[in-house]
Amino acid sequence: MASGSMKDMIIKENKLEKFEGVDFRRWQKKMHFLLSSLKVVYVLTTPIPEIQEEGNLEQIRKRSKWENDNYICLGHILNVTVGHVGSQIHGRRFF
């Protein structure tokens, strides 16, 4: 099975209901599981990789991967929040 279709299957099976400010812990655990399934949950606890002044190719790739995975995490988190809750989450640490 292709990895793209595997991600689609995981997302469909683990689709989260909108978070409306009730039962945050339950929603948090479901979101953590979804992000773990997508193998991007590490960005919640890992700081953005630094690039040294000379910046070799490996450092640039690690940073680019982290930025892409962070974008995916943020998109999934904001996608299931409602109204003002989504705007409050942006820029804060919830995990």
55-88 per-position pLDDT tens digit: 688 888 999 999 999 999 998 888 887 665 555 5
State yes or no: pLDDT of 8 exceeds 70.
no
Amino acid 92: pLDDT: 56
Q: Mean pLDDT of all residues in the chain?
A: 78
State the SS3 of 3-63.
Answer: HHHHHHHHHHHCCCCCECCCCHHHHHHHHHHHHHHCCCHHHHCCCCCCCCCCCCHHHHHHH
Single pTM value for the model:
0.68
**45: exposed, middle or buried (Cβ count in 10 Å: 0-12, 13-18, 19+):** exposed
H/E element, 66: helix 57-79
Average pLDDT over residues 40-44: 94
Domain residue spans of the chain: 3-89
